[in-house]
Amino acid sequence: MQNVLITGAASGIGRDTARLFASAGWQCVLVDRNAQALEKVVRSLPAHGGVTHFPRVIDLTDRQQIASLAEGTPALDAILNNAGMTEPSTLPLIEQTPEQLQRLLALNLTAPAAVVDACAGLLRPGARVVNVSSGAGLAAIPWRGAYSPSKAGLIAQTMALAQARPDLCVTVLAPGFVRTELVESLIQSGRLVPEGAVAKIPLGRMAAPAEMARALFFLASAGARPLRGQILALNGGSSISGASRPYAPTTIDTLPLDGPVKLDVRGDHAGPWHSWAEASTGTTAYEACLDVSALSAPEGGLLQAVHLAATRFAGRHDQQASLTVLLPSRSTARWQAAGDAAAARMLVSTLACEWGSLALRINAVEVPEDLEPSQLHPLLAYVCGPAAQYLTGQTLRCRGSASQSEA
Ligand code: NAI
């Protein structure tokens, strides 16, 4: 049996994540300071083979309480540092006291490290640690106190942990807007105007907590290993958009996140990339295309290869489908050709912005030469499929076997 520890499990993203792990048969150690809500979540978890889950009522801003976490906690396959808070006041930063800043930093930045320290002895070989940061850690959100700084700090801390513990698989999720209690409270208090937020999102909607739960479930799995030390920005494309025109709200309903996928693999030498999805087809399946043609593009030909793949894809799909392009990770490219890879990545982002209102997604995965296709199948199954319907415009950089010893 696999075991996971999830913080902030009594509400929002953490609650949906706990339900997903429990329904997949994992044993859950659920941490929150809200005893009543946590108990309710534990009672609501699907019973699966008589598995007992552990509620742990802990205030994660209290180091002594965190230090007690290891007592009675089983060996762990994954830790999800999800608990976080936003600043309750709208005071400008310079009017905030050091104590106000410290309150946010204690939960959003200090606690994740303290949880890993407290549970270090319980981690099974190759265990996964996933920190939940925020899009606010990539671009500053004003009048939310130290929220953005705390989340930027968490991204940097994740990278440092990945370097320090290459034996683990350490990643960070940066969600965009998710309709949870946290966001509802911002809307109710007038601090977040949903129409204004959606206008900055190419996919034209906020995410459901279940979409974050799916991402966390993937990142907590052994198949996430090629992504160690990486950030997964799951935000409907908001972080890659520099558009000056507002995006329209989408009119297209999301398909079931656990539904089947109909995969089309394009490009020369497609064989090894195909096998993982052959069995999962269906009439109402989510349509996905994996295009591997850029892997054999000549030096300087990446942007054109991606453009061709996109043109082919758009000719076959009107709406609601995904295109994933594989890009070679070439560290030996001459500097004169270095602009081509960056241009290809930005083409992916630009296409995502243009296609978002049609729920057409595009992402790239950079593949090191020494990585076997089979090692990427779980990642591709997630990125291409319906579980990742909020992921677009991103280039995910994978680490190869040669970098097993470094994060
Ligand atoms: P939420 O407010 O719905 O849930 C947070 C949970 O953390 C609650 O159960 C709360 O009781 C618990 N918690 C708060 N302070 C605690 C403490 N001192 N000790 C123990 N538990 C504590 O939040 P949501 O929306 O589910 O967010 C989860 C994570 O995702 C947070 O880290 C948040 O910053 C991040 N995030 C959320 C986004 C959103 O749009 N909802 C966007 C980007 C990031």
pLDDT per position as a tens digit, 324-369: 999 999 766 678 888 999 999 999 999 999 999 999 999 999 999 8
Whole-number pLDDT of residue 278: 54
Q: Are 262 and 385 in contact (CB under 8 A)?
A: no
Cβ distance 247 to 196 under 8 Å?
Answer: no
Provide the pLDDT for residue 330. Answer: 76
pLDDT, residue 282, reads 54
- With a 6 A CB cut-off, is 83 part of the ligand 1 pocket? yes
% the chain with pLDDT above 70: 96
Contact 326, 274 (CB under 8 A): no
Interval 227-252 mean pLDDT: 97
DSSP string, 207-266: BPHHHHHHHHHHHTSGGGGGGTT-EEEESTTGGG---SSPPPPP-SPPPPTTS-EEEEEE
139: tokens are 């671009």
Residue ranges of E strands in 310-377: 321-328, 360-367
Index of the ligand 1 atom closest to the CA of residue 60: 19
Ranges of each domain in the chain: 3-238, 261-406
Of 40-54, 76-90, 145-159, the poorest mean pLDDT is in 40-54
> Quick one: pLDDT at residue 281?
52
- Tell whether ligand 1 has an atom less than 6 A from the beta carbon of residue 84: yes
Q: What is the mean pLDDT of residues 203-213?
A: 98
pLDDT at residue 334, rounded to an integer: 79
Closest residue by Cα to atom 7, ligand 1, is 8
The architecture in CATH of the region 261-406 reads: 3-Layer(aba) Sandwich (3.40)
Average model confidence (pLDDT) for the chain?
A: 94
Closest CA relative to residue 76, chosen from 10, 176, 2, 186: 2
Question: Region 157-164: what's the mean pLDDT?
Answer: 98
In a 10 Å sphere around its CB, with 0-12 CB exposed, 13-18 middle and 19+ buried, how is residue 86 labelled?
A: buried
Distance 82 CA to ligand 1 centre (A): 6
How far apart are alpha carbons 160 and 168 in whole angstroms?
12
Confidence grade of residue 405 (pLDDT, cut at 50, 70, 90): very low
What does R_g of the chain's alpha carbons equal in angstroms?
A: 21
pLDDT at 343: 96
pLDDT, average across residues 307-317: 98
Name which of 34-43, 72-81, 183-192, 362-371 the model is least confident about: 183-192
- Give the integer Cα–Cα distance in Å for 330 and 341: 9
- Check pocket membership of 380 for ligand 1, CB cut-off 6 A: no
183 lines ligand 1 (CB under 6 A): yes
At 255, the amino acid letter reads L
Position in ligand 1 atom list of the atom nearest CA 182: 2
Helical pair 147-164 and 98-105, crossing angle rounded to 10 deg: 40
- The tokens describing 174, both together, are 């940066």
Q: Which two tokens stand for residue 95?
A: 């009017």
Measured in degrees and rounded to the nearest 5, phi and psi for residue 24 equal -90, 5
Binning pLDDT at 50, 70 and 90, where does residue 277 land? low
List the Cα angle 278/281/284 in 5-degree steps: 165
Domains 3-238 and 261-406 share a fold: yes
pLDDT confidence of residue 407: 41
What pLDDT shows up at residue 406? 44
What gap in Å lies between CA 177 and CA 371, rounded to an integer? 33
Mutate to test the pocket of ligand 1, among 29, 85, 234 (most ligand atoms within 8 A of CB): 85
pLDDT for 280 equals: 53
Helix-helix angle 35-44:12-23, to 10 degrees: 30
Active-site hit among 147, 247, 382, 390: 147
Taking only the tens place, the pLDDT of each residue in 119-151 is 999 999 999 999 999 999 999 999 999 999 999
- 279 band by pLDDT with thresholds 50, 70 and 90: low
42 alpha carbon – ligand 1 mean position (Å): 17
SS3 (DSSP) at 117 = helix
61 lines ligand 1 (CB under 6 A): yes
CATH annotation of 3-238? 3.40.50.720
What number does the ligand 1 atom closest to the CA of 151 have? 34
What atom in ligand 1 is closest to the CA of residue 59? 19
Q: What is the pLDDT of residue 8?
A: 98
Residues across the chain: 407
User: What pTM was estimated for this model as a whole?
Assistant: 0.96
DSSP type of residue 51: P
- What proportion of the chain, given as a percentage, has pLDDT over 90? 85
